[in-house]
Structure 1
Amino acid sequence: MLACASSKFGFLAALATSISLRNPLPSLPLRILGEFSDFSTFNDLLTQTKLADEINRRQTITVLAVDNGAAGGISSLPSDVQRKVLSVHVVLDYYDTDKLGAMKNHSAVLTTLFQSSGQATDRMGFLNYTKRPDGVMVFYSAEPGAPVNSQMVKVVASRPYNISVLQISSAIVPPDAPAPGPSDDDASADAPADAPAPTADGPTADGPAEADAPAHDKSNAADAPEGSAAGRAVAGAGLGIVALVVIIFTL
């Protein structure tokens, strides 16, 4: 029986080893980020947008992560846009400070996960990397007009030559990233444009009419007492007639 149990244990161990070899990096980026509370928002966004599943299918990647403060700019976007922006932060190759520092001409064009999605247009799926003369490494969208404002902060973790997690100073949002969210902003922006039109018409046309109305009401109010006195006179006459009829019948 011991031999049988040992055999079963050996089989299960071999099966587990086989599974782990086929998928050597299960959820590794999320596990790495999960060890640092500063990246909890970024980590949660990867899970919520299901980008974690895409990342886990890759054997060689570099994740450009932002801390909780910088991730706020991503979490405020609509969910579908969040996924697109986050996928720009996943580079389809391994990069660490040594490899980046050794780049020819201190610059390179990096291919991101967004490019592989088939949804990227123009150069939205690429990042530019540049090492400035002062030694600062910067990353920015390859789209024309993109701001150069995201700097390398530190290496969070690396596993040569499969996965690297680098912290950058700010989120990278391509200028032409499709965002349905602004349509709500456009609607709210249109509302003030419609509001002034009635306001402009109101004082010029309706204002005097409203101003005249109280004067008209006062004249009616002045006429009211006369009407009330006449009514009382008629009512008094009616009562007199009724009294006369009653007296006649009693006689």
Structure 2
Amino acid sequence: MSLVVSSFAAAVLLLLALASPAAAFNITRILGEFPDFSTFNGLLSQTKLADEINRRQTITVLAVNNGGMGGITSLPSDVQRKVLAVHVVLDYYDTEKLGSMKNRSAVLTTLFQSTGQAANRMGFINYTRRATDGVMMFGSAEPGAPLMSQMVKSVMSRPYNISVLEVSSAIVPPSIGSGDNSKAHAPAPAHAKTPAPAPTPSKSKKPEKEGAPVPAPAPSDDSIADAPADGPDADGPAPADAPADDDDDKSSDDTGDAAGRVVARLGLGIGALLMILLSL
């Protein structure tokens, strides 16, 4: 029984060992069979992007022929790698799968999205199959980017590991070479905040120093307009002293009343004490 189990386990391991190389692919060798993609294939090797593609189990490559590579070869080398990564979709799509989509459109995730460098939806591709003629169009999912690249044909496919589709032109997100988008938009809120605190301290400090509700920018106009109406009451100390005198008078009256009540109570107590003594 143990020999049967061990033989079965060895057979399974052998099948797995044979199956793993069959599932793997080499994008450089695949594109090397088509001279029309020699420039695209060469850039995949130069940017080391071919190694990342070969490590994937499921992939779709949107290849551009030599005549349409001017939009990529004119870019700096670091930007070329990013743009090429946009042409690698992290799923399997062939013409049949794309043509059978119910909504005739989809947002596809690319290899550039997995790098963590994508911003503003640069790591996604918009796909749409036109209702008028059925042409399959591709374009960057970045806001404002047009659908300019159309599918030409299927180059090769190995369901469901790899599919190579030829597109008419390079898919370049508009701001992929402009640096970090988050830093580019950062100064706008910073400048918007700086003028806001400026008027706040000027208004809050002046009323505390002057002690008046009238704003500081126009004291002369307010004093001239209020002077005839207020007359002597305009002086600050006069109304401030008046309530102080009233408080002194009230306090003196209160002390006098308290003293009178004490004397009256003493008189009543003495009278009660005399009546008690007389009764004895």
> Which band: TM-score by shorter chain?
0.5 to 0.7
1:153 is aligned to 152
TM-score by structure 1 length? 0.63
Deviations 1:188-229 (A, max 9, x none): xxxxxxxxxxxxxxxxxxxxxxxxxxxxxxxxxxxxxxxxxx
1:90 is aligned to 88
Shift of 1:104: 2.0
2:201 is aligned to none
Shift of 1:179: 4.5
2:129 is aligned to 131
1:21 is aligned to 20
Shift of 1:147: 2.1
Give the counterpart letter for 1:86 in structure 2: L
State whether residues 23 and 161 of structure 2, in contact with CA within 8 Å, keep that contact through their aligned partners in structure 1: no
Task: Give me the whole-angstrom Cα distance separating, in 2, the residues matched to 1:99 and 1:77.
Answer: 32
Shift of 1:18: 2.5
Structure with the larger RCO, 1 or 2 (CA within 8 Å, 6+ apart): 1
Aligned pairs, how many?
167
Q: Is 2:159 the counterpart of 1:165?
A: no
Deviations 1:145-178 (A, max 9, x none): 1122100000000000110000000000001103
Give the counterpart letter for 2:169 in structure 1: S
**Runs ≥4 in structure 1, deviation > 6 angstroms?**
none
Q: Is 2:103 the counterpart of 1:105?
A: yes
Task: Give me the whole-angstrom Cα distance separating, in 1, the residues matched to 2:136 and 2:83.
Answer: 20
Q: What's the C-alpha RMSD, in Å, of the aligned pairs?
A: 2.1
Unpaired segments of 5 or more residues in structure 2?
A: 1-12, 180-280
State whether residues 39 and 65 of structure 1, in contact with CA within 8 Å, keep that contact through their aligned partners in structure 2: yes
State whether residues 59 and 92 of structure 2, in contact with CA within 8 Å, keep that contact through their aligned partners in structure 1: yes
Secondary structure of the corresponding residue to residue 122 of structure 2: coil
TM-score by structure 2 length? 0.56
Shift of 1:39: 0.3
2:66 is aligned to 68
Shift of 1:23: 7.4
Task: Give me the whole-angstrom Cα distance separating, in 1, the residues matched to 2:21 and 2:168.
Answer: 35
State whether residues 78 and 179 of structure 1, in contact with CA within 8 Å, keep that contact through their aligned partners in structure 2: no
Task: Give me the whole-angstrom Cα distance separating, in 2, the residues matched to 1:78 and 1:66.
Answer: 18
Greater Rg by CA:
2
2:141 is aligned to 142
Deviations 1:50-71 (A, max 9, x none): 0001101100000000000111
Secondary structure of the corresponding residue to residue 94 of structure 1: coil
CA separation of 1:117 and 1:46: change in aligned 2, threshold 3 A: same
2:51 is aligned to 53
Q: What is the percentage of aligned positions where both structures have the same residue?
A: 73
Shift of 1:20: 6.5
Secondary structure of the corresponding residue to residue 69 of structure 2: helix
